[in-house]
Amino acid sequence: MTKVLVMSDTHGDTSLAEKVLKKHRDVNIVIHLGDYFRDADRLHELYPTVRFEYVHGNSDFMIGDVPGEKLIEIEGQRVLLTHGHRYSVNWGIEKLKTKAKNDNIQLLLYGHTHKSQVIYGSGYIIMNPGSISDPRGGDDESYAIVYIDNDKIDVELMTAV
């Protein structure tokens, strides 16, 4: 089983992210969904033995070769990382649903809205962990823990405070 910590939209404030990582020292992978992907580098320096995966967001600049979207495989499951702004997620997730269906994505992770959400579709899960440092829409600071065990994916939204 692989334990994954998913966060998004830290916007330069890693204080809660550091506490969350300390709490979940047993994670195998940390995924950062953009808007200050350099925060993921900072966290990786604190936890160099943990695998970090990240994409850039709409507020990231000087991105170099950091992708805006990344497809990774975890225990045979196809996981897509995107910030979400290119899919117009502020107006709905229909484009994400289409992407998951058309590209055989089992777990599609996005951020951008700063609001946590989990949608279960036919053969896929779409999840936004919310923002760990700048929540919106009445949400608390949040992140997600994902457990992937071969063909089973369990997601859990968590409050960071």
Tokens at residue 155, please? 């997601």
pLDDT tier at 138, thresholds 50, 70, 90: confident
pLDDT at residue 82, as a whole number: 98
Per-residue pLDDT reduced to its tens digit, 57-105: 999 988 999 999 999 999 999 999 999 999 999 999 999 999 999 999 9
The distance of Cα 65 from the centroid of its chain, to the nearest Å, equals: 19
Number of domains in the chain: 1
Asked whether residue 118 carries a pLDDT value surpassing 90, the answer given is yes
The domain in which residue 44 lies consists of 2-159
Dihedral-angle region of residue 91 (phi above 0 means left; psi in -120 to 50 means alpha; beta otherwise): alpha
How many of the other CB atoms lie within 10 Å of CB of 101? 13
Tokens at residue 14, please? 């890693």
Give CA–CA dist 78/67, Å, rounded. Answer: 17
CATH number where 66 lies = 3.60.21.10
pLDDT at residue 114, as a whole number: 96
Asked whether residue 137 carries a pLDDT value surpassing 90, the answer given is no
- Which one-letter DSSP state was computed for residue 90? G
pLDDT tier at 160, thresholds 50, 70, 90: confident
pLDDT tier at 1, thresholds 50, 70, 90: very high
Query: Rounded to a whole number, what is the distance in angstroms from the first to the last CA of the chain?
Result: 26
Rounded to two decimals, the pTM is 0.97
pLDDT tier at 4, thresholds 50, 70, 90: very high
Contact yes or no for 108/80 (Cβ under 8 A) = yes
Asked whether residue 7 carries a pLDDT value surpassing 90, the answer given is yes
Give the DSSP per-residue string, 10-63.
-TT--HHHHHHHHHTTT-SEEEE-SSSTHHHHHHHHHSTTSEEEE---TT--S-
